[in-house]
Structure 1
Amino acid sequence: MQFALGQLYCTNHDVPPLAADSARSYDWKGHRYEWLHEKSRGSRICLDVEGLDTPAPDAIVPHGMNTRDFWAAWTFAEACCKISDVPILQWIRTLPLVVPRSGVVLQMPVQFPSSSSAWSFTDCWPEQNVVFTCAWLQI
């Protein structure tokens, strides 16, 4: 599926990746999602995907948050963790799960050297019934 910042593809896990430098994530059914992009020199890119049909774990869902919002917030947190090399359990102990605005590029709430910036894009792919966040760090 084409998005403003790149293309998201869904393939089976046993098929070779579409590109050596694509960002990849897998859903609980074993589907591989790949984010193809124009990778600029000095950037790092990651992807997190969750199925909207996956039951949200009651123990960590904030009170009153629906399943779609939870998975959007979770993929955003996972992308922040992947891009900043912070374990997810450490992240959710110190920061609340935040529901990002869908389809909007956001600066990420992580600290990097002053010459770096991190950005993310969260959206839903209805045909695949998934929500995803792609994040990139420009150094």
Structure 2
Amino acid sequence: MPALLSAAERYLRVGTPAELAGAVTRSHLDDGRCVGWYGPPAAGWRVAVDAERAGAPVPPALARRFGTADFWARWTRAESLCKLADVPVAAWWRRHGLSIPPDSAAVWRTVRLADLVVTVAFAPDAPAPGRRPGP
């Protein structure tokens, strides 16, 4: 996983939704673009991306709640982890704010890609129902 994260920029593409239809996973931007992940499969891991325009203003209600310092990096990280956990962002906020739970097994990296802030995150596959994880 560290190799994929350290080379994240190599596996990210920006384009229209139609251009990125073949991405492993995508994030849609408010200006009509998408960011797609084209990295190789990582056995035992799921991947998610979230992207926002770096220069976009922080909505006032979110700024009051979470502050503006490094907001888009924290936001995209939380959104990526929400996607991996299949948890609505509002539920995440109530439990964790824009922080990461201390017991999270997810790994991530946040990068600047042109005018965007993008977080790529991986989480281990969930064990099959009725099975316990690990040996």
TM-score (norm 2): 0.75
- Residues 1:110 and 1:38: Cα distance change in structure 2 (over 3 Å): farther
How many positions carry a matched residue from both structures? 119
Structure 1 stretch displaced more, 8-17 or 71-80: 8-17
Cα RMSD (Å) of the superposition?
2.4
User: Structure 1 pair 110/88, CA: closer, same or farther in 2 (3 Å)?
Assistant: farther
The correspondence of residues 63-102 of structure 1 with structure 2, limited to 5 A, is 64-66=67-69, 69-98=70-99
Correspondence for 2:108 among 95, 120, 126: 120
Contact 2:26 2:49 in 1 (8 A): yes
Q: What residue is the counterpart of 1:103 in the other structure?
A: none
- After superposition, residues 1-139 of structure 1 pair within 5 angstroms as 4-6=6-8, 7-19=11-23, 22-61=24-63, 62=65, 64-66=67-69, 69-98=70-99, 109=101, 117-125=105-113, 127=114, 129-139=115-125
- Alpha-carbon distance between aligned partners in 1 of 2:47 and 2:30, rounded to the nearest angstrom: 21
The structure richer in strand per residue is 1
Q: Which amino acid aligns with 1:13?
A: P
CA–CA separation in structure 2 for the residues paired with 1:16 and 1:130: 16
Instruction: Tell me the alpha carbon deviations over residues 48-99 of structure 1, each in whole angstroms, 9 at most, x when there is no partner.
Output: 0001232211111246524xx111111011011111111100111222324x
The answer to whether the 8 Å contact 1:84/1:110 transfers is no
CA distance in 2, matches of 1:97, 1:32: 23
Q: Which runs of 5+ in 2 are unaligned?
A: 126-135
Residue ranges of structure 1 left out of the alignment (5+ in a row): 99-107
Q: Report the AA paired with residue 8 of structure 1.
A: L
TM-score, length basis structure 1:
0.73
Identity %: 30
Structure number with bigger Rg: 2
